[in-house]
Amino acid sequence: MTKTTAPSAPVPSTHDAGSPAAAPGSGGRIKTLVILGASGDLTGRLLLPGVARLIASGRASGLSLVGAGSDDWTAARWQERLDKSFAEALTDDPAATKEGRAELLRMKKASRYQQVDVTAKGALGELLKTVEGPVALYFALPPAISEEACKVVLKKELPPGTRLVMEKPFGSSAASAKRLNAILARLVHEDHIHRVDHFLGKSTVLNIMGLRFANRLLEHSWDSAHIEKVEIIFDESLTLENRARYYDHAGAGRDMIQSHLLQIMAIMAMDPPATLGENDVRSNIAAVLRASTIGPQGTSDFTAHTRRARYTAGEIGDRKVPNYLDEEGVDPANGTETLAEVEVYVNNWRWAGVPFILRSGKALGRTRKEAVVTFRPVPHLPVGFKGADSPTRLHIGFGPDTLTLDFDVNGPGNLFTLDRVQLEAELASNPVLPYGEVLDGVLAADPLLSVRGDTAEECWRIVEPAFAAWKADEVPMADYPAGSPGPEGWTTSQEE
């Protein structure tokens, strides 16, 4: 008997609700990447290495690169930056191909740098006249400067098909995010705006969605009836690493929880989308965030549902770390936290009463980047079993992408004794760096992994009341020695 397979129906091209489709001829793969803030730290440390890995792997041929910044750099100095940022992709990248490396060298040789004041009227427009479109305009700039640049540029100065790529933080409050959204909306359609969150790499997002929606056993249990809590943790052993100028005004809450961890939470909590089209996925993410509050809906007790702390002097490995307040560039008056934790509740039928605990911090004793789903205990364990009846836990690791399931089984040895075992698996990973994954979506004109405008506003709406309570010192500032797991009284500091 011959088995036949029906052809797969194509996934339709979709656009966000309220955003008209792009005009014919305005889409297509990006021809030129223009980086504003090209002489800055972000560009050299993260953005350019991501570009290099992407091109060296053979996934972005034909791209031109233009750097622009306020610094008066010579062509030789720009090439020196490219040499340093591209070095690993040209020598040690196992995913690189011979053709990809040749393409990267071609792009590097043709790349140029131009000094420009992007806040001056007409300056950005003049730069864009010299490049081939469609263009991805990447704002690797402080948020205030990015906003000023977008205020002065005119829609007619943007080449057809231009995509605006905005770094986080997107605004500094719900009001400022809304204002920036309005500024961008007069320049391009919503589906031509990429609000970058490098945590939303394609492998991370699809690993979570594949695990949930392709396995009936899990999705059947993915609700408040079966899950006790969800923890999303991003602990780093890194300290300030010369970033006090930014971090001392942001802190762990604004740097990580407000953006990255809320987005991961929304993907963990979203309902199954009909397709992997950007409209279906991003609309379901938005629905979760609209339903979310810190603490149960209606509460204002941020002492019970949020925690903050700051590291003191200690040791991480063989490195001595000073008290955060003694770090260069830190102003004690800012009251900056280096470790933050909030309990978010998704106030809908599926998740009523389940805390999503989002935690992120620096200078901790171990790096821990994972989501942990703790299932509720069985309603009745038959009398006669011995050993600990530990909670079943599902760990989803982010970088490396791993899956670990902790649960209890009989033996070995006494068949009546329960022992803890782990099932482990490696999940799909992308050989390019996180910024390479995000840029791949930008260059392919695919907004799936970009943060939509309304969700950027919702993220600020969720956290703003807690941040206000912290600023008013309504929530005490704990401390923890650098190199420790965190404050002793925090449950997340004690769990392994």
Task: Give catalytic residue positions.
Answer: 260
Q: For residue 168, say whether it is annotated as part of any ligand binding site.
A: yes
155 is in an annotated binding site: no
Q: Are 110 and 64 in contact (CB under 8 A)?
A: yes
Q: Tell how far CA 189 is from the center of its chain.
A: 23
Q: Is residue 479 part of an annotated ligand binding site?
A: no
d(Cα 46, Cα 419) in Å, to the nearest integer? 44
Q: Given CA atoms 343, 464, 478, 327 in this order, what sign does their dihedral have?
A: positive
Rounded Cα gap, residues 81 and 39, in angstroms: 8
How far is it, in rounded angstroms, from Cα 312 to Cα 324?
6
> 255: annotated binding-site residue?
yes
Residue 117 assigned ligand-binding role: yes
Query: Helices marked H in 291-367 — which ranges?
Result: 302-305
Any binding-site annotation on 70?
A: yes
Q: Quickly list DSSP for 40-90.
A: SHHIIIIIHHHHHHHHHTTSSTT-EEEEEESS---HHHHHHHHHHHHHHHH
Q: Is 369 annotated as a binding residue?
A: no
Residue 140, classed as helix, strand or coil, is: coil
How is residue 461 written in tokens?
């709406």
Euclidean distance between CA atoms 418 and 404, whole angstroms? 19
Query: Ramachandran region of residue 185, left (φ > 0), alpha (ψ -120 to 50) or beta?
Result: alpha
Query: What are the phi and psi torsion angles at 427 (to 5°)?
Result: -95, 165
User: Inter-axis angle of helices 453-471 and 278-290, to 10 degrees?
Assistant: 30
Contacting residues for 219 by C-beta, under 8 A, at least 6 apart: 212, 213, 272
Record the tokens describing residue 298, joined without a space: 């209606």
The count of residues in the chain is 496
Going by C-alpha positions, the residue among 118, 120, 122 that lies closest to residue 137 is 118
C-alpha–C-alpha distance, residues 212 and 208, integer Å: 6
Do the annotations mark residue 362 as ligand-binding? yes
Say how many C-beta atoms besides its own lie within 10 A of residue 415's C-beta.
8
Q: Is the dihedral of CA 363, 364, 370, 375 positive or negative?
A: negative
Residue 55 CA: distances (Å) to CA of 18, 22, 98, 139, 442: 34, 26, 11, 20, 13
The two three-digit tokens of residue 54, written as one number: 């992407």
Query: Is beta strand 306-312 parallel, antiparallel or unpaired with respect to 477-481?
Result: parallel
Binding site for substrate: residue ranges? 198, 202, 236, 255, 362
Binding site for NADP(+): residue ranges? 70, 117-118, 168
Binding site: residue ranges? 70, 117-118, 168, 198, 202, 236, 255, 362
